[in-house]
Amino acid sequence: MRDANLAPIGADETQGRLETWRVVAVLVFLAIAIALTFLVSSYRLFQLSMTISYACAVLSLTVLTGINGQLSLGHGAFYAVGAYATAILMTNYGWPYWTTIPVAAIAAGIIGFLVGFPALRLAGLYLALVTLALAVAAPQILKVNALSDLTGGVQGLTTDKAEAPFGLPLNPDQWIYLFCLAIGCIVFLLGWNLTRGRIGRAMMAIRDQPLAAESMGINLAAVKTRTFAISAAFAGVAGALTTIVVQFVAPDSFNLFISIWFFVGLVVGGVASIPGALFGGAFIEFVPNIANDISKAAPGAIYGMILIAFMYVLPTGVAGGLHRLFRRLFARRHRTATAR
Amino acid sequence: MNGLAHQVISGLASGSIYAAVALALVMIYQATHHVNFAQGEMATLSTYICLTLINAGVPYWGAFVITVIVSFVMGAVVERVLIRPVNNAPILTVVGVFIGLLLVINAMDGWIFDYIIKPFPSPFGGGQPMLDGFISSHELGETGVTLIVLLLVYLFFRHTTLGLAMRAAAFNPTSARLCGVRVNRMLALGWGLAAAIGAVAGMMVAPIVFLDPNMMFGILIYAFAGALLGGIDSPLGAVIGGFIVGVLENVFGAYIVGTELKLTVALIIIVAVLLIKPAGLLGRPVQSRV
């Protein structure tokens, strides 16, 4: 079985346990994240908000590819659905920004469910192909004239900037960042909860041994299509956050490359690691910023080379690498985990 | 009716390009069961090389031949350096390497040759209409060149010892190796040939769609659709599939969905084929032992 080792991971076995040091680490991380609101410039806050949005998108791939073993090169399409759902509701229907998040999630989730059905019959490479075609076709669909009253056609849509509610003494950038942080926490909590329980084990069983999983009574079709829907919904939330942060959507920002960036983020972070999605998100946001100083073409080249290098050298991503490092440092704690 | 005939003919003309790229994809798929996501980018790079040669004063057909040779070497080198180490790796790794290759070549194109859209010369003299305006001279010449390439590939695989050895290496590597075929060398050769065919397709399509680093994205998707429609393990099927996709794309684009949704036609073809007849028109159904 080639699929059996689709995701050669070290990080996922221990994710379920709620150890004290994990809780402390998460709390410290959150405290730093909140403190940053008041410490850094508006531009940095914008970047951090985008990081959170990208991290949610990478997390959607973590759930789908890393945990469930279904490959997608087209999550930019679901991201676009979420982004457009928010933009359309805000500009055409005057909804407040925060009410659009659930709608964006549901809209993307439904589309994901529909894509998940053909995906059932397609393993590995073919699914990658179909989703790649979806990613290439997405901007064209968004540009269609028939929908341009709704989508703004080629020009796209511009939305209002969110303001802090209840007279809180925050400027819009600070508020948007905190809002993204809160939504990001919810998405990550959902993702983590989903994967550590019974459903998560079913997903992993399907990834590792579909046949054995089926004979154990797991409903393969149901789990796979639902995973696809949930993953698409996460990507939709990520898209909605992006709209709120950038206040602008246009078809050409959802080209093939955005889907590929998510894939790169997934690989860099670590395919089946939930904290890894954060590294992935940060990578997508910050590396092009640094690389753009060299040349317009540099981000693509760097992404590509890093992708190839990770495939050869560090297939478990940054999170997997750190995990291995910690495992070596605290060999006692993880002796049982290495028995696999 | 004239309109439909025109659409079909120009569909066949673009279909010949898709057929060539689909054939390149199938050659690599047959040998290694990989789908080369970077096939289009490699062709774009070849086209840029050709344009550079022409701008340096090399006559068109000279540049054409040099480009094909350079592309062949490039393909073989890529196989040897990047692909062979991951030949038996999990799918995720293989896809990762291919996507990485796509990104690197795409960025290199942009870096070296700039992102502006460039016109590309046609050896068949621009776009004068011929045969009552049914087809431009370039479309006619381009279809002819592609057909000659396809014929050459067919003759090579059917009637030469090397072609036989390559087929053997793809069909059953272990037995082929036992018979003295150098399987690894055949794989590199296959990649080289695929890159060369892709280069021809790139040079033939560039006068129509103009040259920029993202030129081949759409064409690659059509070629995927063609390869899947014909059967991804059947070279003849891929060629037929490529032509069918070209015609469908044009006819649907003209009469049903409008030109702005042409790529969606390819997406629908891909999904439909995989759902209804996953083996394609001429492919063998895949059976796996459990």
Give yes or no for a contact between B229 and B245, defined as CB atoms under 8 angstroms apart. yes
Q: What is the pTM of this model?
A: 0.84
Determine the residue of chain A that is closest to B111 in CA distance.
A297
For the ranges A140-149, A232-241, B249-258, the lowest mean pLDDT is seen at A140-149
- The first and second tokens of residue B12, run together, are 């066949």
Inter-chain CB proximity A122 and B91 less than 8 Å: no
CB contacts of B261 in chain A (<8 Å) are 140-141, 144
CB contacts of B275 in chain A (<8 Å) are 118, 121
For the ranges A1-5, A115-119, A251-255, B144-148, the lowest mean pLDDT is seen at A1-5
Give yes or no for a contact between B241 and B226, defined as CB atoms under 8 angstroms apart. yes
Q: What is the pLDDT of residue B179?
A: 87
Query: Which one, of A94, A56, A88, A91, lies nearest residue A75 by Cα?
Result: A56
- Tell whether the model's pLDDT for residue B71 goes beyond 90: yes
Inter-chain CB proximity A136 and B108 less than 8 Å: no
Per residue in B193-241, pLDDT tens?
899 999 999 988 888 888 888 888 888 889 989 988 888 878 888 889 9
Region of residue A122 (left: phi > 0; alpha: psi -120 to 50; beta: else): beta
Angle between helices A124-143 and A256-269 (to 10 degrees): 140
Q: What is the pLDDT of residue A58?
A: 92
Residue B259, chain A, CB below 8 Å: the answer is: no
Q: What average pLDDT does range A64-87 have in this prediction?
A: 88
CB contacts of A315 in chain B (<8 Å) are 93
Q: What average pLDDT does range A83-105 have in this prediction?
A: 86
- Tell whether the model's pLDDT for residue B69 goes beyond 70: yes
- Rounded Cα distance between A96 and A293, Å, is 37
Residue A60 pLDDT level (bands cut at 50, 70, 90): very high
Residue B227, chain A, CB below 8 Å: the answer is: no
Show the beta-strand stretches assigned E in chain B: 129-130, 135-136
More confident call, A159 vs B15:
B15
Residue B107, chain A, CB below 8 Å: the answer is: yes
Inter-chain CB proximity B100 and A308 less than 8 Å: yes
Inter-chain CB proximity A297 and B99 less than 8 Å: no
Q: What is the pLDDT of residue A339?
A: 44
Residue B126 pLDDT level (bands cut at 50, 70, 90): low
CB contacts of B93 in chain A (<8 Å) are 311, 315
Residue B1 pLDDT level (bands cut at 50, 70, 90): low
Percent share of chain B, pLDDT over 90: 15
- Rounded Cα distance between A196 and A212, Å, is 20
Q: What are phi and psi of B86, to 5 degrees?
A: -110, 15
Contacts of B197 (CB under 8 A, 6+ apart): B20, B21, B23, B24, B27, B149, B153
Q: What average pLDDT does range A228-254 have in this prediction?
A: 89
Region of residue A317 (left: phi > 0; alpha: psi -120 to 50; beta: else): left
Q: What average pLDDT does range A297-307 have in this prediction?
A: 81
- Tell whether the model's pLDDT for residue A3 goes beyond 50: no
Inter-chain CB proximity A137 and B35 less than 8 Å: no
Give yes or no for a contact between A16 and A196, defined as CB atoms under 8 angstroms apart. yes
- The first and second tokens of residue A141, run together, are 């669909």
> Which ipTM did the prediction report?
0.82
- Tell whether the model's pLDDT for residue A136 goes beyond 60: yes
Per residue in B73-91, pLDDT tens?
999 998 888 888 887 777 8
- Tell whether the model's pLDDT for residue A54 goes beyond 70: yes
Q: Which of B212, B245, B267 to mutate to test the interface with A (most CBs of A within 10 A)?
A: B267
Per residue in B148-178, pLDDT tens?
988 888 888 888 888 888 888 888 888 888 8
